[in-house]
A and B are shown apart, each in its own frame.
Chain A
Amino acid sequence: GENVEQHPSTLSVQEGDSAVIKCTYSDSASNYFPWYKQELGKRPQLIIDIRSNVGEKKDQRIAVTLNKTAKHFSLHITETQPEDSAVYFCAASKGAGSYQLTFGKGTKLSVIP
């Protein structure tokens, strides 16, 4: 089955700096890669996703890049703010039918004011 590795497990940045979280996946058939944000005590919510026919996608301060050959994808957050502090999860799916997701173990991002 699919295996998703996520690094780092914790990340601290100064407010205004950039943050990068990286994930690798094992199944070359995976073609859908979402990122979820979970604030303390709240439910995970989708913040951005990318499909394998695209190399990069941006939404304001967040962007995701995908390298299919190397089987890795990354989340980039620019101009970080304290409200970006949360646990971020990457995931991978073969993107068919039920879109079953395999999640990484998460990265706890702390933005220091």
Chain B
Amino acid sequence: DVKVTQSSRYLVKRTGEKVFLECVQDMDHENMFWYRQDPGLGLRLIYFSYDVKMKEKGDIPEGYSVSREKKERFSLILESASTNQTSMYLCASSRQGAGEQYFGPGTRLTVT
């Protein structure tokens, strides 16, 4: 049974703070993804990684960075949080060459 876990379910941060969101998967998946989900906008890809230390920009990378030092862990970093980054953040993982993505439970981030 695939498990994707995220470090927090709810997070409240102040404008300008540096924010770390962590995602861990236990299925030895090569690919990991970070999305943000906003009402009426669906899921939008922020960054993804296909291997340790490798990363690719998604559709909305501005204001975010990522880190993947170990295969099972993928971190999303907000260097200086802003109110327009208030959102639900979803992590996902998948096996290389396979389409199905397994999602984490999400982190609802509020920036005040």
Contact = CB atoms under 8 A, between A and B. Distances in A.
Given A43-B106, A89-B42, A105-B40, A97 B101 contact: no
B-side interface mostly: loop
A102 B58 CA distance: 10
B101 A101 contact: yes
Interface residues of A, number: 24
A44 B42 CA distance: 11
B45 to A, nearest CB: 7
A-side interface mostly: loop
Interface in B18-57: 30-31, 33, 35, 40-45, 48, 50, 56
B101 A46 contact: yes
A42 B102 CA distance: 12
6 tightest A-B contacts by CB?
Answer: A105-B42, A43-B103, A103-B43, A98-B50, A98-B31, A103-B42
Interface of A: 1, 6, 9, 32, 34, 42-46, 49, 89, 93, 95, 97-106
